[in-house]
Amino acid sequence: MVDGVALIWSVKSEPAWGTTDGDIGLRLSVMKHDQTLTRHGVRKAWRELILQFPFQKKQHHASRFPDKPKVTPEMLTAGVRLAIAAGWSPDGRGRPFELILEESDLP
């Protein structure tokens, strides 16, 4: 729950390096948690927030897979608040809102 709004989140994609867009950090999908059903009997859909956490340049293990960052509830809350300040509305509808976080954005 962030600022009185119940949210659900899931992993959208794992970190990846060497893509055409550069290195991509862990991406989480965040949406308003709502059990309201539409007239068709499916859960009501809200505008998705995609939070991309910074890519970990310094790897702890030599592996072909990049390390996953440790995301704390405080980091997730800070990311959601930054997204709201940038224009994402948990009650909105429409295309996903993507926010790429910097190291300085996180507590």
Residue 55 lies in a domain: yes
Residue 21 lies in a domain: yes
What is the domain count for the chain?
1
Tokens of 4: 């009185």
Residue 67 lies in a domain: yes
Residue 2 lies in a domain: no
Convert the pLDDT of each residue in 53-105 to its tens digit.
Answer: 988 666 656 656 666 778 999 999 999 999 999 999 999 989 999 999 998 88
pLDDT, position 41: 85
Residue 1 lies in a domain: no
Model-level pTM?
0.81
Q: Please, are residues 97 and 82 in contact by the beta-carbon 8 Å criterion?
A: no
Give the integer Cα–Cα distance in Å for 11 and 60. 21
Domain that holds residue 19: 7-105
pLDDT, position 60: 57
Q: Please, are residues 26 and 50 in contact by the beta-carbon 8 Å criterion?
A: no
pLDDT, position 42: 83
